[in-house]
Structure 1
Amino acid sequence: MNSDNHRTIIPATALDKSASGFSVAFNKRLQRRYRAEQRFKWLGIAAIFSALAFLAFLLTTVIGDGASAFRQTVIQLEISFDKEEFTQEDLLQADYQRLVKTALSERFPEVAGRQDKRLLYDLVSSGASYKLLNMVRDNPKLIGSRQTIWVPANDDVDMLIKGKIDMDQPEGNRRIKDRQFQWISSIREAGQVELRFNRAFFTNGDSREPELAGIRGAIKGSFYTLLITLLLSFPIGVAAAIYLEEFAPDNRFTAFIEVNINNLAAVPSIIFGLLGLAIFINFWGVPRSTPLVGGLVLTLMTLPTIIIAARASLKSVPPSIREAALGVGASKIQTVFHHVLPLALPGMLTGTIIGMAQALGETAPLLMIGMVAFIVDVPGSITDPAAALPVQIYLWADSPERAFTEKTSAAIMVLLGFLVIMNALAVFMRKKFEITW
């Protein structure tokens, strides 16, 4: 009998099962699982791009608001250093503000009324008199001469020149009046108004006048504070990590210390500020609002981070290094300090830099110890009253003047620049000194 007449008919489900090795139901579940994994992948990518978009929006806003702060409006005046104004030997006694007012009155002789003169004089910053004082102090031969000098403009004029005041609004809703706008337009047409690099932003301390305010005092205060923090936290943190990792016995007391160190790393920073207020200021009597007490407080906050990073670096050193050193007759201390510590030091430095970067951006603990005070003078030592860069940003953000808004964004740009540099330094050191075992 021909075998073709006796073919066996195999069901389709059996064919599917034999082709894939699994049942149809299992294949459907497997496809659903693949689709779910694909959706999760795309959700992750979308989350990353969303985060990057928000970060780009934040940076664009900060840079857009703060870039203009690096330029300052200056006005050209013809200043006559009349000898009648310098009748006393002390140059500080001269009325430099009157010299500025005289120059403005000569530039606009038609201005007569008291109110109009006040509006006219408001075009120039009060810092113009300090500039004239410094010029005469550096070169007394200017007395009796007539000089063309560029002086800083008032903050409202600066905002107008930068296009941040809408003159289409009613006069009562804006700080620049119509008469002032006419005078500014006149000197602009004469080429006596310019936008120049704002050196005062980097060389001056804080000020009530936005056009005179700078970040030099805040930068020096942050530098002294971080210097104290580094000098205290690094040796103490490394010593604690070496003891806990290499010498401490394995008992309940050591375990208790390790748990508390890990917990302290997660404590809100304001708690360290309260601790510093209670111990360093109220009990020890350390002066408030100084880099010394700020460094002590940030040391408490940074220590857990440095200890954890240092212990991780010590653990990364292979046990064979210790065994080899002990095998050739080295003592326990010699093994740790001559062999293990040098190999773990790059990782310790990386963790320290990251901890210092965290301390640089902290504001809450410094507010608790009084570094929120208005400090005009630039600190000269760790015991002088000072502000820190994050606190300076906080103070300017609370100021009502429109010009302080761009100052705030510019200070944020400087702070972000320092943080990026410190984190880049940590990455560089990790890559350069990293040892692969």
Structure 2
Amino acid sequence: MLELNIEKIVAGGYGLARDAQGVILVAGALPGETVLADVKEGKGVRRGVTRDVLSASRERVEAARLPTINFSHARYEAQLRFKRDVVQEALSRIAKLDGEVAQTVPSPREWAYRGGAQYLIRGERLAYRERQGHTPVTVEHDPLVIEAIVAFLERVDLWRLDGARELVVRASLQTGEVLAALIGEGAPRAFRRAAEALLDAGASGVSLAPPAERRFSRGETLLAGEPTILERYGDYDLSVSATGFAQVNPLAAGELYRAVGAQAPELPVTAEAVDLYGGAGGLGLHLARRFSRVTVLDVAPEALRRGERDAQRLALSNVRFVQGNASEAQGADLIVVDPPRSGLEAAARYAVQHSRASHLVYVSCDPATWARDVGEFTRQGWILRSATPYDFYPQTSHVEVLSLLER
């Protein structure tokens, strides 16, 4: 056990401390605090966990204790500041740029904002996996999920879900509808009883997916009911499924989507936009009124089909969905990228650089890889015009960044 003084918050929500051996990243600590921490010895940067707070910050509050929550020991206003600081440091330290990062845009809801969750099934209990390790942590109450999920889970008879390892729930904040997916090995008929239990609890649709190292990469089967429900994102009602990707905080994501549409530059009426990593087109659809044509690119057929159906329902005939890669972006005047946590692949950076685009909207869920890519673009002649953090995940250390570059 070490007594440590915490200097600042860094990526991952860790408090940074130092001793004679170097830097220690401490979970559960806040700047200005003195804490006792268990520290795992090793080479390089060490990690620790706060066991006792000897001198507490005024920003400290009582924390919720679930593996999905790692930042609730800080007041919400402080969380927003710390997240901005993380983005600002990434911009200066990694991108080597001295631009000013805007204040973090807060989530409209600090709690009960998640429209989706995935639980382990342990008899009559649901559980989350620990952040470190594999021991299940029983969930008595999940304060991050929306009311429709809480009510649905209270109605589910978990004993009837025999054979299923995990339960995925997706609900609409707008309509209150719920979709469920079971993760388990076996033929669909073996899960008929489980599907009936979920329908009895109020699910509009139930799917089955086999276990996979990468979520849902082995496909899914619709067991009963509807495959999608509608959720409001910004200006549009968009379809979401239990197993397909869609942002789980629709209110916060909708604000970012609206901002992308509003910040799109004034370009000629013939201008075209391309949304790389576009998924079902939540971002791309918000550009439809500003561009003559919007192309949404992705590699996931399920997401593209959902987006295509949404565009047809919304009568946005100038939006097309294409299964392809960054090479399709050559003729775009504006490019939107929202890559996975690893950031842009080299081929995508090359395609953006060699396109005719004069403007680039870069949305990121990882400040470090965002800063790496933005730094590379600025060295190739792009100018960073703005960078704004968005809080999609209150009570956690995650932060999104919306940025605009031009050349």
- TM-score range (shorter-chain normalised) is under 0.3
Give TM-score scaled by structure 1 length.
0.20
Give TM-score scaled by structure 2 length.
0.21
- Structure with larger RCO (C-alpha < 8 A, sep 6+): 1
Q: Which has the higher strand share?
A: 2
